[in-house]
Structure 1
């Protein structure tokens, strides 16, 4: 019920006061388009463990090489977002967003036929460039809505539903039909996003926001907030990339580990509506400081536990911490930077950390072992806490 109410509120956020029924229907369609686009653009957040596991098992890549492929994809997202985010208000969204997802779909589809590592690298990079464009514009639109925090929570709910569907079906489907099924699923997701956004997006951003061509430089608080998010994204990607491999290598079994991923998807339904409900009840500064602490604690449990139950509980909660904390971070950055550029750069802040995560994690696992992942995550969390504490101080904990 809370999720339904949250979605309804988000629709109201995209509709001007006194709007007609036709415009309200149009707003519902727009919110649906934003939800689908967010799920496609944040595919790595959901698919990382399946992605890495498929590359290491079906494609016989070592952890470092598998992490390198995903990192190449994420580097493409980052570079693309760096280019498109500052140009948020000068690009035709209705063409660029579906176009980006279409190119990504074609690139992932081509991965099915790739027979060389270098070619896979190139196709992953192209897919990242395309998704970075689309996702930057989508997040910019969300940031320019009436209530960015609540609307971002709504698309987060959609991501949770998508995670359940993907994690419940993808591992077994890939095991049954072969590793190339992963890229077929990716291509299908991108094709759906291209189709929905082509028909569901209005041109361009929310009319209630006045945008100037000569925006002021981003403040230090905004940059620190973005660095803090990147640190959490680094930990998220570094641990989550290998969570499936950790479970399998410790003898928990594919069925048990897959069930944990399904539970994780169910748990991920809760952080976004909870963040929306608690928007004005929890000081954002406290959330931003506590989030990295909880994330690092769970990372230590996942990377060191030889017993299934602690591993299962920590894994189930791990992604939810990032979702909940990032919702508050997104709302905070949107309130500090009203031009929308900071949140349009969300792919940069998320994927810069996430791009380093898989290859850093793969290198650590290859050279030291899984336990090193937890130790490094504590160091990264400390940096995030320092950055977020400056944001909390500047905002007075509000």
Structure 2
């Protein structure tokens, strides 16, 4: 037995026994995925919601921006709240609270259309949805095949996004923005049926995880925190790219039709990342593919920074879209492998949202300084490179603490 394994065994004997939740049953996984994608549906449908608010209610650009921020801000607050209580409360009861809050807030949003009231109801709706999303992610963190389960979640999110892209314009044409809010209400009502299938309590009370040989290892608290920092760094890349890739294409002289077609087709390749991530994790674990994926993302952003032409635009978009969900799946899996309690996994939506708020603003400063879109893409490359450095350190620490965890799938 190696020194690190002996150390892990000694730590394991000192840990209190905890009652494991039924996290790996198909019903529990399906329930966690359902409340996750319903809770996150407002983010996936944001472009259509913003359009409906402007067209139906006549709000200006600044007002719809504030309303979009209200939902996102509510979800950020919910992520913090959920992380504080997820290891101490009955998760089914917490899910019920989130569903009821979101349901009532969306109903109120359909009845009160003055800006101030709608702003506050959207903050509350964001809190309800954010509780569901963070809780669902936290429950998936307690499973043993995290790459597979998070791949299913990401596939579901992309599918729901496609459904929203198709249905929300139809709903808003018939019922205005109320049609979208009613759709959210219906989705949250369906979530009630998923609640009884959720595990009631945390798999582990703290950052404790189990190795392949059955030993329980207490993970140093700084490792999951570093993983959260890496998530934020990576989402600097996502925020920089999505906020300005269309404008960068226009600046390079590409036609609107070419840009739209490339971005639309590119999103289909995100699904490829889901399947490849699951297959590869079974072959090589999660840590090494994650590091390769981040370096690939750095390369994609650097390629776009060097100069955009039609070929570069297509290749850059393809690389970005494949690596986006690929990296997301492994990030979720990595933080789950070092913390089965779900406490830190519940903070992932907050880490993502914070970075997606900061990145466009930082990119805007670069453009205001006349540094061009190449600088924006380099900002994105720096985000992925920073995440790579952090995960490389985490991987090295896990190799010393518990080698089984470093290459877990």
TM-score by length of 1: 0.75
Alpha-carbon separation, structure 2, partners of 1:250 and 1:70: 29
Alpha-carbon separation, structure 2, partners of 1:52 and 1:370: 25
How far did 1:390 drift? 0.7
* Alignment CA distance shift 1:315-1:67 (3 Å): farther
Query: Unaligned 5+ residue runs, structure 1?
Result: 1-11, 16-26
In the alignment, is the contact (CA less than 8 A) between 2:152 and 2:274 conserved in 1?
A: yes
How far did 1:56 drift? 9.2
How far did 1:13 drift? 6.8
In the alignment, is the contact (CA less than 8 A) between 1:101 and 1:130 conserved in 2?
A: yes
Quick check: 1:259 aligned with 2:261?
Answer: yes
* Alignment CA distance shift 1:94-1:288 (3 Å): same
> Any idea what the Cα deviations from partners look like across 1:266-292, whole Å, max 9, x if unmatched?
212221222112113234332332333
- Which of 353, 377, 380 aligns to 2:380? It is 377
Bigger CA drift: 373-382 or 45-54?
A: 45-54
Paired residue for 1:387?
390
Quick check: 1:196 aligned with 2:190?
Answer: yes
Alpha-carbon separation, structure 1, partners of 2:227 and 2:101: 31
Bigger CA drift: 187-196 or 146-155?
A: 187-196
Quick check: 1:229 aligned with 2:231?
Answer: yes
How far did 1:374 drift? 0.9
Count of residue pairs the alignment pairs up = 367
In the alignment, is the contact (CA less than 8 A) between 1:295 and 1:321 conserved in 2?
A: yes
Quick check: 1:343 aligned with 2:345?
Answer: yes
Paired residue for 2:160?
162
In the alignment, is the contact (CA less than 8 A) between 1:80 and 1:129 conserved in 2?
A: yes
Query: Unaligned 5+ residue runs, structure 2?
Result: 1-21, 209-217, 400-405
How far did 1:105 drift? 5.6
SS at match of 1:268: helix
SS at match of 2:340: coil
Alpha-carbon separation, structure 2, partners of 1:315 and 1:51: 25
Quick check: 1:289 aligned with 2:297?
Answer: no
How far did 1:160 drift? 2.3
How far did 1:307 drift? 3.4
Paired residue for 1:61?
61
How far did 1:138 drift? 0.8
Counterparts of residues 90-109 of structure 1 (less than 5 Å): 90-97=88-95, 99-101=97-99, 103-104=101-102, 107=105
Counterparts of residues 10-159 of structure 1 (less than 5 Å): 14-15=24-25, 27-28=26-27, 30-43=28-41, 46-47=44-45, 60-61=60-61, 70-97=68-95, 99-101=97-99, 103-104=101-102, 107=105, 110=109, 114=113, 116=115, 121-159=119-157
> Any idea what the Cα deviations from partners look like across 1:219-255, whole Å, max 9, x if unmatched?
2221111111111122212321344455567675665
In the alignment, is the contact (CA less than 8 A) between 2:96 and 2:195 conserved in 1?
A: no
> Any idea what the Cα deviations from partners look like across 1:115-139, whole Å, max 9, x if unmatched?
54x6665444333322221112111
Bigger CA drift: 303-312 or 86-95?
A: 303-312
Larger radius of gyration: 2
In the alignment, is the contact (CA less than 8 A) between 2:274 and 2:325 conserved in 1?
A: yes
Alpha-carbon separation, structure 2, partners of 1:55 and 1:256: 28
Alpha-carbon separation, structure 1, partners of 2:295 and 2:315: 17
How far did 1:322 drift? 2.5
* Alignment CA distance shift 1:201-1:178 (3 Å): closer
SS at match of 1:373: helix
Paired residue for 1:23?
none
> Any idea what the Cα deviations from partners look like across 1:281-312, whole Å, max 9, x if unmatched?
23433233233333343345557755344324
SS at match of 2:271: coil
Alpha-carbon separation, structure 2, partners of 1:242 and 1:49: 15
Bigger CA drift: 133-142 or 346-355?
A: 346-355
In the alignment, is the contact (CA less than 8 A) between 1:222 and 1:333 conserved in 2?
A: yes
Alpha-carbon separation, structure 2, partners of 1:380 and 1:371: 14
Paired residue for 2:327?
325
- Which of 280, 295, 310 aligns to 2:312? It is 310
> Any idea what the Cα deviations from partners look like across 1:20-41, whole Å, max 9, x if unmatched?
xxxxxxx44x444333322233
